[in-house]
Amino acid sequence: MDAELFPRERARIAPGAAHVPDWLPAGRQRELLAACRDWARPPAGLRTVRTPGGGTMTARQVCLGLHWGVVRACPACGRPVRDNPGCPGLHQYPYAYTPTAADGDGAPVKPFPGWLDEVARRAVADALGAEAVPGAPYDIALINFYDGAARMGMHRDSEERADAPVVSLSLGDSCVFRFGNTGTRTRPYTDVELRSGDLFVFGGPARAAYHGVPRVHPGTAPPWLGLAGRLNLTLRVSGL
Ligand SMILES: O=C(O)CCC(=O)C(=O)O
Ligand SMILES: [Fe+2]
């Protein structure tokens, strides 16, 4: 992989969606990994994510800024999630952002550091151009850890109330990242290989596209990083 003759090229995967290979230099990857290890420690550390049907996700997760997870009651009106179509406080689907790790140890979520907002703004400018950088600061990170068997089903990132681009940074093992369309979980989609240090940004007409991780390639992390598995950070503007 590292011995490829030509560097991998950046690509527009769809209008509003861009892949920038090797965006993070090795030193920044090491620093980001060290920060992720700190964030993954309790309280409000890495947890197994519950799904609405009573199952669990295979990727484990820690959040910064606000906690993302399944809720049983609307944080705004207190009524059962599927029973509040008129309430502006919660999306119809039973995921929401809350200030504490409600489906974990219940501790307050760790703060989103200002330097991650700077990283996100640089990422959007590099990937999509300065005009795509939002006015509001990035204030949420979802950090997913994948072991060799973990994956993530096709979904949309839809609990935010802002349409700012989502910034995705990958560390460790490479994976197949499937980037689809806004209408269905199925084709048409494009499979992109995301490797350690890669940036992927999706905003504008691609902000609501379905996407997922059908496969991680175990043992493909760069040896100098010291990570067995894959970490992905998505940086978002909550609008909340
Ligand atoms: O792991 C990835 O590359 C994607 C993660 C993702 O889609 C999410 O956290 O919503
Ligand atoms: Fe996502």
**Per the domain annotation, does 224 fall within a domain?**
yes
Q: Which ligand sits nearest to residue 198's alpha carbon?
A: 1
Pairing of strands 17-20, 199-202: antiparallel
Closest CA to 228 of 65, 99, 82, 37: 37
For position 94, what pLDDT does the model report? 79
- pTM of the full predicted structure? 0.94
Q: Is residue 173 part of a domain?
A: yes
CB 223 within 8 A of CB 4: no
Q: Which ligand is nearest to the CA of 155?
A: 2
- Compute, in angstroms, the gap from residue 5 CA to the centroid of ligand 2: 32
Q: Would you call the peptide bond into 42 cis, given omega within 30 degrees of 0 as the criterion?
A: no
Q: Is residue 2 in some structural domain?
A: no
Q: Answer yes or no: is 4 within a domain.
A: no
Q: Which residues constitute the domain of residue 147?
A: 11-236
- What residue ranges of the chain have pLDDT lower than 50? none
Q: Please indicate, yes or no, if residue 199 is contained in any of the structural domains.
A: yes
Residues forming beta bridges with residue 232, ordered by sequence position: 144, 170
Nearest CA to ligand 1 atom 3: 232
Closest CA to 58 of 147, 177, 185: 147
Q: 1 lies in a domain?
A: no
Q: In whole angstroms, what is the distance from residue 181 CA to residue 230 CA?
A: 25
193 domain residue, yes or no = yes
Domains held by the chain: number: 1
- pLDDT tens-digit readout, 175-212: 999 999 999 999 999 999 999 999 999 999 999 999 99
Residues with CB under 6 A from ligand 1: 142, 144, 152, 157, 168, 177, 194, 211, 213, 232, 234
* Residues contacting 182, CB < 8 A, separation 6+: 156, 205, 206, 208, 209, 210
Residue 5 lies in a domain: no
Interface ipTM above 0.90: yes
Q: Where residue 229 sits, what CATH number does that domain have?
A: 2.60.120.590
Q: Is residue 19 annotated as involved in ligand binding?
A: no
CB-based contacts of 175, cutoff 8 Å, min separation 6: 146, 193, 194, 213, 215, 216, 217, 230, 232
Reply yes or no: is the peptide bond before residue 43 cis, omega within 30 of 0: yes
User: What pLDDT score was predicted for residue 139?
Assistant: 98
